[in-house]
Amino acid sequence: FFVIMEFIFSEKETKLLIIVNYKFGFQKNLADNIQRWICTKRKCKAYVKLNGDCLCEEVLTYNHESEDDGKLVRQQLTNSLKRKCDKLITDRPSKIIRKETASNSHSESLLQNDINRVRKNLNAAKLRTIPKLPSNLEELHKC
């Protein structure tokens, strides 16, 4: 049977593999250029082996429920917006969110609560990039 695979980036900028609403993280390279990807849930034993973009072997015995489709879309949107926020420092978060949701095909499944979470995460990411102001004269002269 045919398995749909999709790659997204995590919060830590690592590549994740999505198969049927389950997330897999890269574990290691094996012989003959084969990559092993394991489920991101700690106690889960599911894994897949990829040779390029071809699925070689799969052990899909999960001990947990699959991720909610809306949650995966929100995570993908948030993580892509965080990367764009680093490049577009002067743009307002609402403008960045509006552009990304217009170009994203899955954005119609987002709720208002999801948009609020994305906006909150984007503002927090933007604040982390701005350097803190000095609080006293010593810190001012060290800069």
- The answer to whether residue 1 scores a pLDDT higher than 60 is no
DSSP 12-26: TS-EEEEETTEEEEE
Least Cα distance to 96 among 114, 110, 82, 116 occurs for 82
Neighbours of 18 (CB within 10 A): 17
Which pLDDT tens digit goes with each residue over 61-75?
888 898 888 888 888
Rounded to whole angstroms, the Cα distance separating 56 from 52 reads 9
- Label residue 26 by pLDDT band (50, 70, 90): very high
At 55 the pLDDT is: 82
Least Cα distance to 27 among 2, 54, 8, 45 occurs for 45
Least Cα distance to 96 among 77, 70, 71 occurs for 77
Which pLDDT tens digit goes with each residue over 105-139?
777 778 888 888 888 888 888 887 777 888 888 88
Rounded to whole angstroms, the Cα distance separating 104 from 62 reads 29
- Would the pTM count as exceeding 0.75? no
**Residue 3 one-letter amino acid:** V
DSSP 3-state of 123:
helix
Rounded to whole angstroms, the Cα distance separating 87 from 53 reads 30
Instruction: Provide the residue ranges of all domains of the chain, joining segments of one domain with +.
Output: 5-59, 69-129
